[in-house]
Homo-oligomer: A and B are copies of this chain.
């Protein structure tokens, strides 16, 4: 379970109809809004007249994409970006995304949020033909399959549909070719992906909060199995797998997503509050107060309070600074990092508040 939790990511893409905006800057702001989905590494791939350049590194968006780095990224028609969760090992820079490759038909960049379930099977098939893998990510695998299918068909769209029939599991993908920006959501819609706009720019993001932060508008979620293609300043959407049963990962609602996002029509905050209301109905307790553990428990506590009538209160403060690196190797590691992050409030009042 927790292994699974570690495999979350955030993706963001933008296509400019008028070429007026600095898409790399906009992508950085969008990725910052998705930073909670992955703090380990981040990257941006920018398409300038069909040539895809990229920059990716370990660290937060604000650390990796300094003004100096952003200014080096040329003005682009399309940009995709990615934030990635923490892993272990001597050097996992190799797994930073987007993955940018060259193949027979040109350049290709892929940003992926999800986990395939038939990875091993697909990898073996490719390995038997002599494939080499330079990363341990599913993204490289998806890339290889897309490219192989692309050689058998006449369009990138067809290649992606054929790929979707081969790969199984959870995936939301942003695929950028020389001329197209393509967004895809897996047939069961395990992972979120939505579409928005900002002036004349079309945007895609894992969570709608990215559009809010940029001052843009949320248009809609992609449907499970849907593919949206932006090219020649037009947007074409088609669902190749319309009948699959929807299976959005419940952890998005419970834990991962930002409360200000809307996923598949449901406000995350509202969902969490409702879980609290539901819990109050199912399991009423006699208590003086209801309080939540920050951050994701706050909304549910408020819902429990509203439903049960037990007063809502605040009990814990969460430190936003503690928990970084230096404590990791110290003698104080044995003290739970949880205790370093959460501290209970005190209602002590010695003497008299002059104000009241």
Q: Give the nearest-CB partner of A99 in chain B.
A: B134
Contact check, A343 vs B209: say whether CB atoms are below 8 A apart.
yes
Given A133-B103, A326-B62, also A346-B267 (CB < 8 A): yes
Chain B residues in 8 Å Cβ range of A270: 345-349
Contact check, B265 vs A351: say whether CB atoms are below 8 A apart.
yes
Given A89-B53, A91-B55, A311-B306, also A144-B132 (CB < 8 A): yes
Contact check, B348 vs A262: say whether CB atoms are below 8 A apart.
yes
Q: Which range contains the number of A residues in contact with the other chain?
A: 35 or more
Contact check, A67 vs B329: say whether CB atoms are below 8 A apart.
yes
Given A22-B331, A326-B70, A356-B277, also A345-B269 (CB < 8 A): yes
Chain B residues in 8 Å Cβ range of A278: 355-356
Distance in angstroms from A33 CB to nearest chain B CB is 7
Chain B residues in 8 Å Cβ range of A277: 356
Interface segment among A175-183, A184-192, A228-236, A332-340: the answer is A332-340
Contact check, B53 vs A73: say whether CB atoms are below 8 A apart.
no
Distance in angstroms from A85 CB to nearest chain B CB is 14
Chain B residues in 8 Å Cβ range of A215: 335, 339
Taken together as a complex, chains A and B put the C-alpha atoms of A327 and B309 apart, in Å, by 44
Give the contacts of A182-222 with B (CB-CB under 8 A).
Answer: 209, 212-213, 215
Contact check, A349 vs B265: say whether CB atoms are below 8 A apart.
yes
**A266 contacts the other chain (Cβ, under 8 Å)?**
yes
Contact check, B269 vs A346: say whether CB atoms are below 8 A apart.
yes
Taken together as a complex, chains A and B put the C-alpha atoms of A355 and B270 apart, in Å, by 12
A-B contact pairs, 19 of them (CB 8 A): A22-B331, A28-B327, A32-B340, A35-B321, A54-B91, A61-B326, A66-B325, A67-B325, A104-B124, A104-B130, A130-B147, A130-B151, A258-B317, A259-B317, A259-B345, A260-B316, A270-B347, A302-B313, A320-B320
